[in-house]
């Protein structure tokens, strides 16, 4: 299904090194990424990739890099595709594979002025210490 962009302009995905944005990211939990609302089931369907692979949000504790006084630790979700629910080691550092950010702006419907700049993080996969 095509994405509707009524008043949101998607600016695009930027690949970047995880170490440029965070000193560390600690795995907290995994949840299905919500997709469309299903009136029949009264639940959100799980969002998938164009190839039909389910998407998951790995919640992480984001610790800013040293010297970054503009940010504080916060919980940040990273979207990862996987056929089944990813198994994480909660409380352990996580290293994402092909980490990147989607940057987008939201505009007022009438004036077209920018009302918000947002970002979301994505990755193709992840690794944690102790994995083979």
How do residues 91-122 score in pLDDT, each as one tens digit?
A: 999 999 999 988 888 888 889 888 888 888 99
Q: What is the CATH number of the domain that holds 107?
A: 2.40.50
Look at residue 119 and tell me if it is in a domain.
yes
Look at residue 101 and tell me if it is in a domain.
yes
Residue 130 has pLDDT above 80, yes or no: no
- Please list the residues that pair with 119 across neighbouring strands: 103
Tokens linked to 37 = 């609302």
Q: Work out the burial of residue 99: count CB atoms within 10 Å of its CB; fewer than 13 is exposed, 13-18 middle, 19 or more buried.
A: buried
Select from 44, 25, 23 the least CA-distant residue to 35: 44
Per the structure, the complete domain to which residue 68 belongs is given by 8-128
C-alpha–C-alpha distance, residues 86 and 108, integer Å = 37
Looking at residue 131, what is its pLDDT? 60
Look at residue 3 and tell me if it is in a domain.
no
Looking at residue 11, what is its pLDDT? 59
Number of domains forming the structure of the chain: 1
Look at residue 43 and tell me if it is in a domain.
yes
């Amino acid at each position: 299904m095509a994405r509707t962009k009524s008043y949101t302009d998607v600016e695009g995905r930027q690949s970047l090194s995880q170490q440029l944005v965070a000193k560390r990211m600690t795995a907290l939990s995994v949840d299905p990424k919500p997709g469309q609302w299903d009136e029949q089931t009264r639940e959100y369907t799980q969002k998938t990739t164009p190839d039909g692979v389910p998407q998951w949000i790995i919640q992480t504790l984001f610790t800013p890099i040293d010297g970054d006084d503009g940010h504080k630790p916060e919980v940040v979700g990273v979207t990862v595709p996987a056929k089944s629910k990813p198994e994480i080691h909660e409380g352990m550092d996580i290293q994402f594979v092909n980490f990147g950010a989607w940057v987008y702006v939201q505009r007022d419907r009438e004036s077209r002025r920018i009302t918000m700049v947002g970002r979301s993080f994505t990755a193709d996969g992840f690794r944690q210490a102790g994995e083979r």
